[in-house]
């Protein structure tokens, strides 16, 4: 089975802190994704990566950056956390490079609270 893990289930940070959310997948998938999920807004794509060191902006990239130095690991970085970034963050992966609409495999999520 595909396994996608995220570094924390719950995280509490203060405004202005730099925040790192880590995601690791163990199935040699080419694509990795970061979403945020908010009530009433559904899932929104923040960033997408289709290969090591390659990334594309999603629908809401402002305030976020990403890093993919190894195939299995995709990090989401909040350079200076703000309260409006309080949300559930979901990482996902899928097998074929560049094809975003295939089946995605999700991690358990990180619920981030910014105070």
Tell me the closest approach of the beta carbon of residue 45 to another protein, in angstroms. Answer: 8
Is the CB of 18 or the CB of 99 nearer to another protein? 99
Is the CB of 21 or the CB of 92 nearer to another protein? 92
d(CA 65, CA 46): 9
| Residues 48, 29 contacting (CB under 8 angstroms) | no
98 CB-side CA count, 13 A: 0
Is the CB of 5 or the CB of 15 nearer to another protein? 5
Tell me the closest approach of the beta carbon of residue 93 to another protein, in angstroms. Answer: 11
Q: Is 101 helix (H, G, I), strand (E, B) or coil?
A: coil
Tell me the closest approach of the beta carbon of residue 80 to another protein, in angstroms. Answer: 27
Binding site for another protein (CB under 8 A): 4, 40-43, 45, 88, 90, 92, 98-109, 111
d(CA 25, CA 93): 7
């Amino acid at each position: 089975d595909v396994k996608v893990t995220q570094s924390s289930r719950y995280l509490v940070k203060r405004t202005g802190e730099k925040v790192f959310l880590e995601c690791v997948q163990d199935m040699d998938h080419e694509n990795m994704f970061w979403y945020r999920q908010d009530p009433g807004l559904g899932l929104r794509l923040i960033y997408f990566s289709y290969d090591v060191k390659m990334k594309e902006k999603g629908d809401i990239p402002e305030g976020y950056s990403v890093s993919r130095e190894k195939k299995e690991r995709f990090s989401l970085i909040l350079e200076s956390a703000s309260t409006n970034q309080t949300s559930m963050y979901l990482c996902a992966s899928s097998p074929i490079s560049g094809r975003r609409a295939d089946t995605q495999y999700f991690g358990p999520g990180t619920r981030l609270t910014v105070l």
